[in-house]
Amino acid sequence: MSSISVIVVARDEGRELRLTVESLQDTLPETAEIVVVDDGSRDGSVESVTPRRGRVRVVRTAGIGVARARNRGAARARGDLLIFADGHIRVDRGWWQPLADTASNPRVGAVAPGVRGLRPHEGAGYGLTFRGPELTVRWLQKLRERPFPALILPGCCLAMRREVFESAGGWDAGLRGIGGNDNEFCLRLWLLGWRLLVTPAVVVRHRFRRVSKVPIDSAEYIHNHLRLAVVHLKPARAGKVFAAFQGERHLSRAMEMLLAGDAIARRKELFARRIKNDDWCFKQFGLKW
């Protein structure tokens, strides 16, 4: 069995962080470790997590955003199988085994479980896909009982082999704050030639909030979507993404961020490496734009 590192990125999670870590401790094998990346919390929530040598470690950052925080956690982790998790989930006994089994396939880049809300009335989703050029997403229904592909896997619980993570270059450090990180990473993995699968035998519970505890900067949110378009999409399709944000009052600041970044250089690098193109990917998942 591969050694497992669960990387929990958290910011101002309140009591949820302690409950998440306890749920993981109760269900993971004894050899697994939990790396909690506290990304600039101010509510003292990380203080409720008791570091245990060789089992639970805490890494503190100064609010560097989801992508960089996940990368920081991966750099500190020791496991061959990396599982990225939110700080507000619950898992059942044996949840990790089907994920590890599926991720061991050399053709598979990443795998995720079904995700259900913590409240009784909240249903389950099994992967996600884009709604349209504005790059918002919607949950998918379960297609079958055995693992099946999805364009986007939820970053609230996503497993992958370390070798895949490193080959793909980790999470895109050019993205800012929160929003769009999972979309970009999953699309990139598909284009680089890996398969992404949902393992419906496992369903984790996730606290969905109507209002995020982490402030969402509208310009950063738009920037992240524009960066995905520039880096991965053909010009006509990228143009539709840009058109979807016309009239947004934060668009000019988002454009300033985009131009100050390395999106063009990153596009050139990834276009040279990728095995599939976005036409293939969109046809594969029935996207018409």
Q: Per-domain residue ranges for the chain? A: 4-206
Amino acid (one-letter) located at 108 = V
pLDDT score of 212: 73
Residues of the chain with pLDDT under 70: 1, 51-54, 211, 213
**Which residues lie closer than 8 Å to 12 by C-beta, 6 or more apart?**
41, 42, 43, 45, 213, 214
Amino acid (one-letter) located at 124 = A
Measured N-to-C along each axis, helices 181-191 and 218-232 cross at an angle, to the nearest 10 degrees, of 10
pLDDT score of 1: 58
pLDDT score of 119: 86
Cα 223 from chain centroid? 17
Burial group, residue 110, by CB count within 10 angstroms (0-12, 13-18, 19+):
buried
> What's the CATH fold of domain 4-206?
Spore Coat Polysaccharide Biosynthesis Protein SpsA; Chain A (3.90.550)
DSSP string, 147-200: -EE-SB--TTEEEEEHHHHHHHTSS-TTS-SSSSHHHHHHHHHHHTT-EEEEEE
Residue the block writes with tokens 């793909």: 168
pLDDT score of 141: 97
What is d(CA 19, CA 39) in angstroms, rounded to the nearest whole number?
Answer: 18
Question: In this structure, how many other beta carbons lie within 10 angstroms of the beta carbon of residue 240?
Answer: 14
H or E, element range at 115: strand 108-117
* CA distances (Å), origin 102, targets 69, 82, 135, 172, 221: 25, 13, 28, 24, 32
pLDDT score of 161: 98
**Quick one: tokens of 283?**
């046809």
Strand partners, 10: 38
Whether the Cβ atoms of residue 183 and residue 137 lie closer than 8 Å to each other: yes
